[in-house]
Amino acid sequence: MKGEVPYDDILLEVSKLEVIYNRAVMAIQGVSIKVPKGSIVAILGTNGAGKTTLIRAISGFIPSEYAEITDGTVIFEGEDITSKSPHEIVRRGLVLVPEREKIFTTMTTLENIKSSSLAKKEAIFSLETVYEYFPILKERSSQIAGYLSGGERQMLAIGTALLCQPRLLLIDELSLGLSVQVVSSLIEALKRMKKELGLTILLVEQNAEAALKIADYAYIMETGRVVFDGPPEKLLAHEDVREFYLGIKGGKEKSYKDVKQYRRTRRWWG
């Protein structure tokens, strides 16, 4: 984005965010991202890169992880929501689908979906909306959610989040533990939601290849920092990104140390 997107079009702007665990361990440092309205932005990186910490900081869940935001700001629709509580943030239209504990396993599928409804008069997304994108949930409406498959649970989590009337939907690890076929189906559903509903999505994902298929822009994190960012075509064209984050090798094989040295001496997009 780097100044290319007018400020009025930015839905979420995170600036120089810093998070510390247990008042000692730096989890993320100096992270800045922008999410324009109506876009899909991906946060990529390996396990432990700081992706989940970032998304939990944005959505207000950091205190539950014995962590705190010590610097930086989170601006949503022009308002500073840094360190606000999760329920305040949800009511503003920023809704998280977490990596774990996505659903109530002892309730039925329908009870799960209805449990999250904010019942706003100006509600955009309805139960029919959820069933339109995930028809299997209608078939499983009376089934105890704990018996759903992994893919159906992810669909249920996203459907439940939709009834919170999000203007920005945050999804943590969409593809975790799911088959390629299920992931493709979920990716296609998100693509349709963006196009047909105008939904803005911030997708935190370890599977870079899947995320880059639908992202308009992506940031790659490593050890708590953003190390690469750009549109998918630019990231896919970059040799180091292809090799170390997509597993596609080409040319002379380099060590991880070589890549770190390269970053210190030259801007990767130069």
Predicted confidence at residue 267, as pLDDT, reads 45
**Per-residue pLDDT tens digits for 13-36:** 999 999 999 888 899 999 999 999
Rounded mean pLDDT of the chain?
A: 87
Domain range list for the chain: 7-100+166-237
Per-residue pLDDT tens over the stretch 128-140: 999 999 999 999 9
143-185: per-residue pLDDT in tens?
999 999 999 999 999 999 999 999 999 999 999 889 999 999 9
Residue 255 has pLDDT above 80, yes or no: no
Rg (CA), the chain: 19
Percent of the chain with pLDDT over 70: 86
* Cβ-contact 49, 221 below 8 angstroms: yes
Mean pLDDT of 102-108: 92
Residue owning tokens 């600036």? 15
CATH class of the region 7-100+166-237: alpha beta
Buried b (16+ CB within 10 A) or exposed e, 238-256: bbbbbbbbbeeeeeeeeee
Question: Looking at the predicted structure, is the pLDDT value of residue 117 above 80?
Answer: no
pLDDT given for residue 1 in this prediction: 43
